[in-house]
Amino acid sequence: MEFVGQLQRQLVQFSHSLFVEGFLDEQFQQLQKLQDESNPDFVLEVVSLFFEDSEKLLNNLSIALQQQIVDFKLVDSYVHQFKGSSSSIGAQRVKNMCVHLRSFCEEKNLERCLMCLQQVKHEYYVVKNKLETLLRLERQIVEAGGTVPFIA
């Protein structure tokens, strides 16, 4: 029980830091709220979907930006998608980066687009890392027989 309590505290602190540092926003809380007994793995499901989707999109983006003639429309549609899913998940920083990337895309500034894409990737991997940690912690708590505390 001691162990569970520790894990729970850890989880609360960790998730709090995520919100404070702006990796996640209230949307993620909303997601957490949507998870209940009837739908116990909702967050995990959505987050995995997000990872899957994002990796595909990032891959597509990298390819699109390496073309001889860059189709900025295509790039824009990818970024839009990415922005949508990241804002749905509440990955605030990724979303903000996507906004920047979109504006560069509008300017058709390839150089800055590429730079920004790097940053987007960076932010994505950071948040992915964080989310994975968060989910792992939750899983550990559940495995240890505790309940996931509600983070607000």
Please give the residue ranges that form the binding site for other proteins (CB under 8 A): 26-27, 30-31, 34, 36, 39, 42, 45-46, 49-50, 52-53, 77, 80-81, 84-90, 150, 152
**Identity of the residue, 74 or 144, whose beta carbon is nearer to other proteins in the bound complex:** 74
Other CB atoms within 10 Å distance of the CB of residue 29: 16
Contacts of 138 (CB under 8 A, 6+ apart): 11, 148
Contacts of 65 (CB under 8 A, 6+ apart): 75, 110, 113, 114, 117
- From the CB of 42, what's the least distance to other proteins, in Å? 5
- From the CB of 147, what's the least distance to other proteins, in Å? 15
- From the CB of 134, what's the least distance to other proteins, in Å? 17
